[in-house]
Chains A and B, each alone.
Chain A
């Protein structure tokens, strides 16, 4: 770990200004991912701005009938919120499928969105990784790739996004609210928030330097049956091989987002029109153009079978 300086921010704008001011500065909230990465010198911030003191830890109703989730709301609290449990079940279930109780107590809503990949080549600084060190190559592409992306990747990177929560947020059409040093507020639909890796896998989101997430806004509830199904080798405390977040309406329409298959939560609204025709039709569209490796091609049938099980569960 490199030495770093540290300050506690007093307001969101001030925090944003501090990161903008100091080259190589980063925000820290729960620190459940950042501190690990700093110990391994995968992240080497020279300055940390602690945002835990900002009053961004409330869950409030919006005028539109949705919920505004403060960036600092802990995963445990979000999963347990009665409104979330009632109206946004897919989110509560996704949160509880992730990490462990201890980590969820610490991890924040915004931090969860910004988790880095768990690709082992990203984690080993002796190995090439375009995400960690642009231009160094991708170790996973012809290496150990069982966990990796099957769609939306590139020759530069086949890492997946590890978050469960983000998959549910994508299914719910959440909107990410940010603030910049000059006070500019942006509202970024989650569909536009994550980038595919392309030739710049080190750029993961639409956030500008210094831009601070202040909240995640959920639109008003859409009803339906909410399911989150995470498939993994052990029962708990493992990243998804594949996960499916789904909201299924009584008329058979609905929404489907996938985890564990791409550089970002994977959803295609156009594919959802095929929902009444069943899992196969939806999966074929969701995964059209997929480029799995020999080690992860099992994810293609796994997505379809998991979605089938999710739809069966939702309709029973």
Chain B
């Protein structure tokens, strides 16, 4: 199905199932331990051996020699994989570094060997006997030091210059110019990267934890140099990904190589201490933001430049994205610069670009509002735009940022905030409120599904879409139930298998809207097949309560399908609506923090997000997405930082004791409001996404609240007590 004109009324608009806060259909499997995650697929193939990954002990250099004798002789060892015996390997299209290093070492903890043994314990013990001699080379590990070497990024994603930014900024009566930093961050998902691989001749099956099945198949096939059709990838349940599982990581490749060399199935999980340096992370940024405005608060110039680093060949953290679209202003400058660093590979983490970009921009907006003596909510409203500021002929398909801000301000009792900082005290706490806008683009990409109707009236949906904890199973079931006019109990959803039609996958917060649109398209075809079989006119046939009806004739779906059943497959594809209209999602985040007047410990008191993101397919799972993302924003604001050892070139705090993320006790009162919105430009579902929007802006709202509480402006994340303590009010 091609979607190239705005959606009109369709069966989804009935909202009998879609739009309801249904429980997750996979919930009972998860709470009873019957949802099998990758490493737990004990019974899919017999005789599984265990692999243990050895990570490089240096950040840059070469392996001079490897002594495997002791490891090979250790009890239970079946095989050892290194670059020496792995055969020719290529780099996947999305990988920056090789997944198996040697002799060249590109980053710390890059895999250099996999030890395969009968048991996990044997593999781990033998892995410690692998002796590697390295020739260390100097590397670049310090973004601030490399900043001046970073060339400007060319092309559309590298930013733009509109009007006369330097002139307009210089002439602006009120100016704000500051530099902000965000640290490297780790996805820190609960389930570590894990894979089981089994070869049958030249056919490879992998059970893994992967957000994007088709990308996984493609890049694993490229890496191994085998035909894509020989690779099957299965990933029905995923314990979180956040962008860290978008494409193959070392567990997937090494399990495949281990299984080939050991001639038996091999399972590999990355241990927690490996994950920070072996896999990807969100790169640190340095961001300079300049805003010029008239005395009455109209932005006349806005400039945002961002620096980040990556391995050679890697891409930048595109922290300027939102600044190109969020606020009005005739004169604009955005630029991205990328330095070469020899730290581990940087890549996407939840809301790449916008999350760190808004961490900076939305502090700058707070600072500017204060300079202007305008309430920060009003300052944002004053500079709203309903068109793409770089291309004013492009309107936003829907843009209710102002409505989010106004409703949020009312519900949060924002009017009680004191504009002057450090004015509110509650016992030992200095109390402050902060606000920030949330923004994340709506991305469209093709998504396919297959739908089958059987003789019992059961609808089975198959798509390679994944559920990374988001609720994909449930919203897909809701979509099929709505389209076919059946109860949700009559729908079976099967996900995460490369034998199923290729979907959009889970990334860029597009999964919900795209995958359900693919299911919609397939159901439209299935309805046609049912109608055709019964001799109905498909546009007149009504599907409801398990029956299909035209005029006085009413046939149950099971009867219509018959013994043989009926099936249909389709892929939703998108025309140029996303080019003609800017499609984005919006939020307003309000927070209240307490800062300990003695110790400067920052503690959350209240959080509210108001979001406008198209049709909300399931308010319960969407709310879970939002509060999870808001929690991640608390981490980003207050504690998360991969500490860089700038001499050794690695992330030092590489476990969950050292890399802190919020615990239950950190999170109290979280509230989420979704505006009633449908976006006919986005898809037949008229939905968008919230999984990343929920994170965008949260951290800045917290930083702004800390400023409001204390009068100390921290521009370097995370906002930890050491950056506040000497500036606290007496």
Contact assessment for B666 and A235 in the assembled complex, using a CB-CB cutoff below 8 Å: yes
- Report the stretch among A122-130, A174-182, A217-225 that lies at the interface: A122-130
Q: Is A143 an interface residue (CB 8 A)?
A: yes
Contact assessment for B721 and A233 in the assembled complex, using a CB-CB cutoff below 8 Å: yes
Among candidates A1, A142, A144, A237, residue contacting B652 with C-beta atoms closer than 8 Å: A144
Q: Is B647 an interface residue (CB 8 A)?
A: yes
Contact assessment for B721 and A298 in the assembled complex, using a CB-CB cutoff below 8 Å: yes
Contact assessment for B599 and A231 in the assembled complex, using a CB-CB cutoff below 8 Å: yes
Between B57, B599, B665, the greatest number of chain A beta carbons within 10 A of the residue's beta carbon is seen for B599
Chain A interface size, as a band, is 35 or more
Q: Mark B694-720, 1 if CB is under 8 A from A, else 0.
A: 000000000000000000000000101
Contact assessment for A231 and B721 in the assembled complex, using a CB-CB cutoff below 8 Å: yes
Contact assessment for B657 and A306 in the assembled complex, using a CB-CB cutoff below 8 Å: no
Chain B residues positioned under 8 Å from A2 (CB to CB): 125, 128
Contact assessment for B57 and A305 in the assembled complex, using a CB-CB cutoff below 8 Å: no
Within 8 A of B (CB), among A268-316: 298, 301-302, 305-306, 308-309
Chain B residues positioned under 8 Å from A309 (CB to CB): 428, 596-599
Chain B interface size, as a band, is 35 or more
Q: Is B163 an interface residue (CB 8 A)?
A: no
Assembly CA distance A237 to B660 (angstroms) = 9
Among candidates B428, B638, B643, residue contacting A233 with C-beta atoms closer than 8 Å: B638
Contact assessment for A234 and B666 in the assembled complex, using a CB-CB cutoff below 8 Å: yes
Chain A residues positioned under 8 Å from B58 (CB to CB): 126
Chain A residues positioned under 8 Å from B176 (CB to CB): none
Are A143 and B721 also in contact (CB < 8 A) when A120-B658, A126-B57, A238-B660 are? no
Assembly CA distance A233 to B648 (angstroms) = 26
Contact assessment for B648 and A298 in the assembled complex, using a CB-CB cutoff below 8 Å: no
Are A127 and B648 also in contact (CB < 8 A) when A40-B273, A235-B665, A236-B663 are? yes
B695 to chain A, nearest CB (A): 18
Contact assessment for B273 and A123 in the assembled complex, using a CB-CB cutoff below 8 Å: yes
A233 to chain B, nearest CB (A): 5
Within 8 A of A (CB), among B596-638: 596-601, 603, 638
A207 to chain B, nearest CB (A): 25
Chain B residues positioned under 8 Å from A298 (CB to CB): 721-722, 725-726
Assembly CA distance A39 to B52 (angstroms) = 13
Assembly CA distance A120 to B277 (angstroms) = 14
Q: What residue of chain B has the Cβ atom nearest to residue A39's Cβ?
A: B124
Assembly CA distance A261 to B660 (angstroms) = 20
A27 to chain B, nearest CB (A): 22
Assembly CA distance A218 to B359 (angstroms) = 50
Chain B residues positioned under 8 Å from A86 (CB to CB): none
Assembly CA distance A258 to B598 (angstroms) = 16
Q: Is A102 an interface residue (CB 8 A)?
A: no
Assembly CA distance A40 to B654 (angstroms) = 13
Are A120 and B663 also in contact (CB < 8 A) when A305-B725, A308-B598 are? no
Q: Is A81 an interface residue (CB 8 A)?
A: no
Contact assessment for A144 and B653 in the assembled complex, using a CB-CB cutoff below 8 Å: yes
Contact assessment for A234 and B125 in the assembled complex, using a CB-CB cutoff below 8 Å: no
Q: Is B262 an interface residue (CB 8 A)?
A: no
Assembly CA distance A203 to B598 (angstroms) = 36
Contact assessment for A306 and B658 in the assembled complex, using a CB-CB cutoff below 8 Å: no
Assembly CA distance A40 to B597 (angstroms) = 40
Assembly CA distance A173 to B174 (angstroms) = 61
Q: What residue of chain A has the Cβ atom nearest to residue B109's Cβ?
A: A126
Chain A residues positioned under 8 Å from B546 (CB to CB): none
Q: What residue of chain B has the Cβ atom nearest to residue A297's Cβ?
A: B722
Among candidates A120, A236, A239, A242, residue contacting B665 with C-beta atoms closer than 8 Å: A236
Q: Is A232 an interface residue (CB 8 A)?
A: yes
Within 8 A of B (CB), among A222-272: 231-239, 241-242
Contact assessment for A306 and B125 in the assembled complex, using a CB-CB cutoff below 8 Å: no
Contact assessment for A235 and B599 in the assembled complex, using a CB-CB cutoff below 8 Å: no
Chain A residues positioned under 8 Å from B639 (CB to CB): 233-234
Q: Is the interface of A mostly helix, strand, loop or mixed?
A: loop
Chain B residues positioned under 8 Å from A124 (CB to CB): 273, 652, 654
Q: What residue of chain A has the Cβ atom nearest to residue B604's Cβ?
A: A235
Chain B residues positioned under 8 Å from A234 (CB to CB): 638-639, 660, 662-663, 665-666
Assembly CA distance A142 to B652 (angstroms) = 13
Q: Is B40 an interface residue (CB 8 A)?
A: no
Q: Is B142 an interface residue (CB 8 A)?
A: no
Assembly CA distance A234 to B57 (angstroms) = 31
Q: What residue of chain A has the Cβ atom nearest to residue B55's Cβ?
A: A126
Q: What residue of chain A has the Cβ atom nearest to residue B653's Cβ?
A: A120
Chain B residues positioned under 8 Å from A3 (CB to CB): 75, 125
Q: Is B645 an interface residue (CB 8 A)?
A: yes
Assembly CA distance A301 to B726 (angstroms) = 8
Chain A residues positioned under 8 Å from B721 (CB to CB): 231, 233, 241, 298, 302
Assembly CA distance A144 to B641 (angstroms) = 12
B602 to chain A, nearest CB (A): 9
Among candidates A1, A40, A144, residue contacting B121 with C-beta atoms closer than 8 Å: A1
Q: Is B403 an interface residue (CB 8 A)?
A: no
A103 to chain B, nearest CB (A): 11
Chain B residues positioned under 8 Å from A301 (CB to CB): 725-726
Q: What residue of chain A has the Cβ atom nearest to residue B134's Cβ?
A: A126
Q: What residue of chain B has the Cβ atom nearest to residue A143's Cβ?
A: B645
Assembly CA distance A144 to B658 (angstroms) = 11
Assembly CA distance A232 to B647 (angstroms) = 27
Q: What residue of chain B has the Cβ atom nearest to residue A3's Cβ?
A: B125
Q: Is B13 an interface residue (CB 8 A)?
A: no
Contact assessment for A142 and B647 in the assembled complex, using a CB-CB cutoff below 8 Å: yes
Chain B residues positioned under 8 Å from A308 (CB to CB): 598
Q: Is B655 an interface residue (CB 8 A)?
A: yes
Assembly CA distance A236 to B643 (angstroms) = 21
Assembly CA distance A232 to B273 (angstroms) = 22
8 tightest A-B contacts by CB?
Answer: A309-B598, A298-B722, A126-B57, A235-B665, A236-B665, A144-B652, A144-B643, A233-B639
A to B CB contacts below 8 Å, 10 in the list: A1-B125, A139-B645, A143-B647, A231-B601, A233-B639, A233-B720, A234-B663, A237-B663, A238-B660, A239-B657
Instruction: Give A contacts to B, CB under 8 Å.
Output: 1-3, 39-41, 118, 120-121, 123-124, 126-127, 139, 142-144, 146, 231-239, 241-242, 298, 301-302, 305-306, 308-309
Instruction: Give B contacts to A, CB under 8 Å.
Output: 57-58, 75, 121, 124-125, 128, 273, 428, 596-601, 603, 638-639, 643-645, 647-648, 652-655, 657-658, 660, 662-666, 718, 720-722, 725-726
Seed contacts A144-B643, A233-B638, A241-B721; 14 additional CB < 8 Å A-B pairs: A39-B124, A118-B658, A121-B652, A124-B654, A139-B645, A144-B644, A144-B652, A231-B601, A233-B721, A234-B639, A234-B665, A235-B603, A236-B664, A305-B725
